Structure 1
Amino acid sequence: MTALQTALASYAAYHRDRRNVATHLVGIPMIFLAVVVLLSRPVLDLGGGTLTPAMLLSFAAGLFYLRLDLRFGLVMALLLVGCCMIGLLLAQMATSAWLGWGLGLFVVGWIIQFVGHWFEGRKPAFVDDLKSLLVGPLFVVAELAFMLGLRREVQAAISGPAPH
C-alpha cells in the first residue's frame, strides 16, 4: 500500500458506520475552517504581503498532503488557501465576531464528531494517533471523491469490512 492508502486505511478503521462518516463530512470541515480562522490572528504585515500562523500551518499541512498524494494534495492545498482567505476576512472583524465564528465552528464541529463516534461505538482515531488530526480532512475529501466515482483504486485499497 502507498503512504496515502496506509493513512486512509488506518483512519477508515475507526469510521465504518455510515452515520459516523456522515457526521465527519460535516464536522471535520467545520473544525478545519475553525482552526484556520482562529490562527488567522495575529497578522504580520510584510510590506505588501501578509503572514499569519494559519498560513504557516497551512503551508506545512499542504506539504504533508502533497507528499501523500499529488491529486488529493492539490485539492487539500486549494481548500487550505480558501480557508486562509476566509480566515483573513473573519480576522478583520471585531474580536468578538472573529472568536464567535472560530470557537463556534470548532465546538459545534467537535460535538458533531463525537455524536458520530457514539454511533460508531469507538473512540476517535486521534486518541491513538495524533497524525489522524491531519488525515481526517483528507478522509473527507477522499470520501467525497469516492461518492463521485473517483479514485476507485484508492477506495478499493483501503476498504475493510462492510459498513454497518
Structure 2
Amino acid sequence: MTRLERLLSQYAAYHLDRKNVTTHFIGIPLIVFSVICLTVRASVFLSGYELTLALVVLTVSILYYLTIDVFFALLMSFIFMFAYPYAYGIAQWETNLWLSSSVFIFIVGWAFQFVGHVYEKKKPAFMDDLIGLAIGPLFVLAELVFLLGFRKELEEKVLLEARKQRLLMEQDETFSEMISK
C-alpha cells in the first residue's frame, strides 16, 4: 500500500457517508481559504518582495503533498495559486471587516464539517490523528478527482481499505462499550 493510499484510507474510514463527504466539499475549502485569509496579513518584505505567512504555510503544505503524490500536489498548487490572490484581496480590507469575514468563513466551514459528522455518526478524523487536518484538503481533492472519473484504481483501493478500517473501529468501540458495562 502506498503512502497516499494509507493516508486517504485512514481519513476515508471516518468519511464513508456521502452526505458527510458532500459537507466536506464545502467545509474544507472554506476552512482552508479562511486560514489563508487570516495568515496573509502577517508579512515581511525581503529584497522588495512581500513574503506572507500564508505563502509559507501554502509552500510547506505543497512540499508535504509532494512527498505523498505529485499529481495531487500539482493540482493543489493550482488551486492555491487562484485562492491566494482572493485571500490577499480580503486581507486588504479594513481590519475589522477582514478579521470578522475571515473568522466567519472559518466558523461556517467548521459548521459544515460537524454537520457532516452528525450524518456519519463518527468524530472527525483529526480527533484521533492531527495529520487529518493536513489530509482533509487532499481527501476532498481526491474525492473530486474520483467524481470526475479519474484515478479509479486508487479510489477502489482507498474505499476497500477504509471499509476494513471502519469495521475495525466499530469492533473496537463495541468492545470498549462491553467492557465499560
Q: Does 1:52 align with 2:52?
A: yes
Tell me how far apart the structure 1 counterparts of residues 70 and 153 of structure 2 sit (CA, whole Å): 15
Query: What's the TM-score, normalizing by structure 1?
Result: 0.94
Aligned to 1:24, what secondary structure does the other structure show? helix
Alignment map for 1:1-164 (pairs within 5 Å): 1-160=1-160, 161=163
Q: Please list every run of 5 or more consecutive structure 1 residues that lacks an aligned counterpart in the other structure.
A: none
Which one has a larger percent helix, Structure 1 or Structure 2? 2
Tell me how far apart the structure 1 counterparts of residues 128 and 90 of structure 2 sit (CA, whole Å): 33
Query: What's the TM-score, normalizing by structure 2?
Result: 0.86
Aligned to 1:159, what secondary structure does the other structure show? helix
Question: Considering only aligned residues, what root-mean-square deviation do their CA atoms show, in Å?
Answer: 1.3
Contact 1:62 1:80 in 2 (8 A): no
Per the TM alignment, residue 12 of structure 1 is displaced from its structure 2 partner at its CA by 0.1
Tell me how far apart the structure 2 counterparts of residues 39 and 106 of structure 1 sit (CA, whole Å): 12
Tell me how far apart the structure 1 counterparts of residues 14 and 78 of structure 2 sit (CA, whole Å): 27
Of structures 1 and 2, the larger Rg is shown by 2
Tell me how far apart the structure 1 counterparts of residues 103 and 153 of structure 2 sit (CA, whole Å): 37
Equivalent pairs counted in the alignment come to: 162
**Post-superposition CA distance 1:134-161 (Å, at most 9, x none):** 1000111100100000011210110134
Tell me how far apart the structure 1 counterparts of residues 87 and 136 of structure 2 sit (CA, whole Å): 20
Tell me how far apart the structure 1 counterparts of residues 51 and 86 of structure 2 sit (CA, whole Å): 14
Per the TM alignment, residue 19 of structure 1 is displaced from its structure 2 partner at its CA by 0.5
Tell me how far apart the structure 1 counterparts of residues 43 and 143 of structure 2 sit (CA, whole Å): 34
